[in-house]
Chains A and B, each alone.
Chain A
Amino acid sequence: MRILIATVRVPFVYGGAEVHAVGLRQALVEAGHQAEIVAIPFKGYPPERILDQMLACRLLDLRETAGTPVDRLIGLKFPAYLIPHPRKVIWMIHQHRQAYDLWQHPLGDLHTYANGADVRMAIHAADAKLLPRSRGLFTVSRNIALRLRTYCGLNATPLYHPPRDAGRFYTRPAEDFLYFPSRINPLKRQYLVLEALARTRSQVRICFSGPAEPGLERQCAELARKGGVANRVRWLGAVSEEEKLDLYARSLGVLFPPLDEDYGYITLEAMLAQKPVITCTDSGGPLEFVVHRATGIVAEPTQESLASAMDDLWNDRERARQWGDAGRQRYSDLRIDWGNVIENLLQ
């Protein structure tokens, strides 16, 4: 099949969504299809410009290229998923969250504009009218599907996809550290884990890896020093893929307690490395994968609860190993593979 992937591109900003589109394209090509990405530039402010860009997407023509039909259009992000096509399926990464769950939320600002409410209504109307016209409606996670049902009354099926290089993960016997791989960022809540560490009863040790946003690494180190746990944490900064795989493999367990993550590759990577995951009740995406006290621990987002979860893993290595094995099994049971994604998107 000749397949186009329609997504949105914020110039000069790279993120999970780009990786996602590239991963899908590669999987389609490996499955013998011709696939390309169409990325529409997007700027979400001032609000009236959003309407212009929605219209621009409606005006584009991807039915065929140079006389040959495009067999399928896969829409990923707003407003690119509005591009019309007779054989379109949507695999939604994002609606425009500011018009939905981030409306009147500190992380959104659409509601602060005089015309914000009108623009929000227009976005709701376009989604409500145009999303059901696609042949299939899928989301990248249950979290996104739930939002779609809550706000638009639409039913969508979650389709899970593997992290990059899923085949390269492996496991090794657990050593004396928990691993927290993530960009150092307030939403990932490294700070909460450091505060919790000061409250553990055992001598839990943690390795952090990932690039830090400006100033944050120093703040975190300061926090560790104040809590008297500086000698129990290591800051590795940005690590290579090989180092990351090795850290996953040798860890006792993985810490991933972000705030309302859409999906979260880290949970899946931990499962692939056969390690239990500690996450929180408000972490969003990870909760779809972590089964409390079967493949990891779902703690309250508090210092006490996280501290006790870390102590639990630290003090019962055999159980930690069993939970890790169960996580790997669950990964297989969930059929998290590109083959399954493609089969659903192209059926």
Chain B
Amino acid sequence: MKILIATSGVPFIRGDAEILAEGLREAFSKAGHEAELVVIPFQPYAPDRIPDQILACRLLDLTETCGVRIDRVIGLTFPAYLIPHPNKVIWLLHQHRAAYELWDQPAADSLMHYPDGFVIREAIRQADRELIPEARAVYAPSQSVAERLRRYSGITSEPLYHPPANASLFHQGPAGDYFFCPGPVNSANRQWLATQAIAQCREPVRIRFAGEPGRLTGQARSADKLKGSDRIEWLGMLSEDQKRDLYANCLGVIFSPGDEDYGYVTLEAMLSAKPVIATADSGGPLEFILAERTGLVARPTPESLAEAMDTLWADRRRAAAVGEAGRAHYQDLHISWANVVEKLL
């Protein structure tokens, strides 16, 4: 089949969506198809231009190329998934979140505080509501995104999981004396929860963070200085190899974002047979963690997180067993590109 993967991109910024789109293209090629990316430039910080950009996507024509039919278009991100095609399948990585759950959140692309923001929000919502159902099928990357799509747009979709990049390279090593906290340091990933929690631990818990503390809030940094700083290590930028080794040799993984769409960290921990500590409001990760069996789900407070960390620190055999159960669970979920390709075609 000739397949085009339609996605939006912000020039000079390489986002998760583009990495995923490339993974998908590779998976199609491996399955013997011809696949290419179509990346439409998208400018989210000029809200008044968003309706124009929706229209631009509607005006493009991906039905054929030089007289040869394009058999399928896979739409991934707003507004590129609105490009019309008779055989389109949408795997909706994300809608324009500023028009939905982030509507009233402070952010650079915030709509609520923008003149005409409400009108623009409604235009986006209407385009999604009316045009997404043109697709032959709609999939979401996770239950959490599917739920949002149902709640806001009244559209039913099926969650379709995919593996993290280089899934086969993750491995398991002996559990060392640290928790690993991967992922970029930012407010969404809430590393501050862990830095505050460590001050409350009864056990001499140690955490290694990927990244630098530079982007933590002042509060979290002062907690870090106050107590336990010798038990916290900031590792800076890590290579992929280093990251996988840190997964392989940790006691467990701490991942406590707020309402994450998907979260590769959970899957990477499972592939490394390590228990995951998430929080009850983490979103995506909760789809993969069987509480108490493949990980621990704390309340989103330093106290509760500290308790979960103490539990694993004090019972290393249990930590190992929970990690093993996580790896087995990953196998049961059939998270593979082959499965994604089969569903999308």
Contacts and interface: CB of A to CB of B under 8 A. Distances in A.
A64 B49 CA distance: 12
A9 to B, nearest CB: 8
Q: How many A residues are at the interface, by size bracket?
A: 20 to 34
A41 B62 contact: yes
A38 B44 contact: no
Interface stretch (B4-12, B272-280, B310-318): B4-12
Given A36-B12, A39-B39, A61 B63 contact: no
A59 B60 contact: no
Given A52-B59, A56-B60, A61 B49 contact: yes
Nearest to B51: A59
Contacts of A55: 55-56, 59
B13 interface: yes
Contact of A60 (B44, B45, B53): B53
Interface string A40-56: 11010000010011011
A56 B41 CA distance: 12
Contact of B66 (A10, A52, A61, A64): A10
A34 B64 CA distance: 33
A61 B39 contact: no
Nearest to B13: A66
B34 interface: yes
Given A11-B70, A56-B56, A62-B11, A38 B64 contact: no
B34 A61 contact: no
Given A11-B70, A12-B36, A60 B56 contact: yes
Contacts of A68: 12
Interface string A3-47: 010000111110000000000000000000010101111010000
A231 interface: no
Interface string B17-34: 000000000000000001
B38 interface: yes
Contact of A64 (B43, B53, B55): B43
Q: Which of B34, B44, B57, B60 has the most CB of A within 10 A?
A: B60
Contacts of A56: 55-57, 59-60
A60 to B, nearest CB: 5
B2 interface: yes
Contacts of A70: 11
- Bin the interface of chain B by size: 20 to 34
A67 B12 CA distance: 11
A60 B55 CA distance: 9
A96 interface: no
Contacts of B36: 11-12
A66 B10 contact: yes
B168 interface: no
Interface string A201-242: 000000000000000000000000000000000000000000
Contacts of B38: 9, 11, 41
A43 B63 contact: yes
16 contacts: A10-B66, A11-B65, A38-B11, A38-B39, A40-B40, A41-B60, A41-B62, A56-B55, A59-B53, A59-B56, A61-B53, A63-B43, A65-B11, A66-B10, A66-B13, A70-B11
Interface of A: 2, 4, 9-13, 34, 36, 38-41, 43, 49, 52-53, 55-57, 59-68, 70
Interface of B: 2, 4, 10-13, 34, 36, 38-41, 43-46, 49, 52-53, 55-57, 59-66, 68, 70, 108
Given A60-B40, A60-B52, 18 more contacts: A4-B41, A9-B38, A11-B36, A39-B39, A40-B60, A41-B38, A43-B61, A43-B63, A52-B60, A56-B56, A59-B53, A59-B56, A61-B41, A63-B46, A64-B46, A66-B10, A67-B45, A68-B12
